[in-house]
Amino acid sequence: MLPAHRIFAAVDTTGTEEASALIGSLAGSVGGIKLGLEFFVARGPDGIRAAMGGTGLPLFLDLKLHDIPNTVAGAVRAAVPLAPAFLTLHASGGLAMMRAARDAAQDAAARAGVAPPRLLAVTVLTSLDDADLGRVGQAGPAADQVVRLAALAAEAGIDGIVCSPAEVAEQRRRHGPGFVLMVPGIRPAGSDVGDQKRVMTPREAVEAGADYLVIGRPITQAADPAAAARAIVGSLS
């Protein structure tokens, strides 16, 4: 894979014009764009279309779906016309929910004549520690729960997971080369860590086995986002 294709810029905003300007400036310098709940709740599918414009960049639609199988399948079907390259759901929604999502993605994509989105499972939110997991009745430690939920996602035929840099090497070892590992928590050497606790550089994460890197503020808050993205891409080759 070309180094640039590994980088998804996280555009975390509610403003269509701001998102659109940023995405337009990044075309040609990154592999794709991540838009998540914040933007989607504010602007909806039309906002996504407007923000992506004619860039042709792959879209990572980070909706973290979690509901009963029928409802998640319906949401996946509704998202398919946006032709996202990647779409997220919570593995803790269970095997039947993930299978329903997978089947809906295949079915809706065939009907629409587009490629199905690759579904990525969120295992344990990195904002939860072992004590938090205990309070919601999930057996910890968190690292074990990540392993269990990633295995469940694989069993359901989900394409991969979103995982922290700390989990990449073990997940690659467990699931082999075909399982997509999409990795946030990335900071170029010497950059501001912000609220991310466990970070890796882009190069370290790829060497550990990451396929794709989700990078927000080091790109979006830079004086020249496209130049920041190109520098990151340069660090990978």
Active site residues: 64
* Residue 141 vs residues 92, 147, 206: alpha-carbon distances, Å: 15, 10, 26
Rounded distance between C-alpha atoms, residue 183 and residue 7, angstroms:
10
Interaction between residue 123 and ligand C5P (CB under 6 A): no
Interaction between residue 58 and ligand C5P (CB under 6 A): no
193 Cβ contact list (under 8 Å, min separation 6): 187, 199
Strands 180-183 and 212-215: parallel
Nearest approach in angstroms of CB 145 to ligand C5P is 14
Nearest approach in angstroms of CB 217 to ligand C5P is 3
In 70-115, where do the E strands start and end?
A: 86-90
Give 10 or 158: the residue with its C-beta nearer to ligand C5P.
Answer: 10
Interaction between residue 185 and ligand C5P (CB under 6 A): yes
Nearest residue to ligand C5P by CB is: 216
Count of positions on this chain that bind ligand C5P (CB under 6 A):
15
CB atoms within 10 A of CB 154: 21
Nearest approach in angstroms of CB 111 to ligand C5P is 31
Interaction between residue 196 and ligand C5P (CB under 6 A): yes
Element (H, E) at 6: none
Q: Which stretch binds ligand C5P (CB under 6 A): 50-58, 93-101, 171-179, 210-218?
A: 210-218
CB atoms within 10 A of CB 86: 23
Q: Which residues make up the interface to ligand C5P (CB under 6 A)?
A: 10, 12, 36, 126, 162, 164, 184-185, 194, 196, 214-218
